[in-house]
Amino acid sequence: MELKPGSRWKSAVCTTEVVIVRPSKGSVSLECGGHPMVALADTAPTGLELSPDFSGGTSVGKRYFDDEAGIEVLGSKPGKGTLGVDGRPLTIKEAKALPASD
């Protein structure tokens, strides 16, 4: 799985789609709903079901990251699956607080 900045990926088990913001430092498996994601232009495999452990959902417009892998993705279409990398769920990246203006 070659994750390049700007490449688009979709879930094999739900409607989730993401755009790669920052690729991983090495070779990883980008997952959603407990299964590897596929390139947007490719046909998703059939017969797969959403894993109960990875069914927390994905939001549009949120950034998700994993420090260990160094990957960051942007949710471009919401879905029922939780994003993950190599079996670990990704974390939502919180917005940085702006400095107070006095």
The two beta strands, 83-85 and 88-89, are: antiparallel
User: How does residue 102 score in pLDDT terms, banded at 50, 70 and 90?
Assistant: low
Q: What is the pTM of this model?
A: 0.88
pLDDT digits (tens, 9 = 90+) for 3-25: 999 999 999 999 999 999 999 98
State mean pLDDT over 77-102.
89
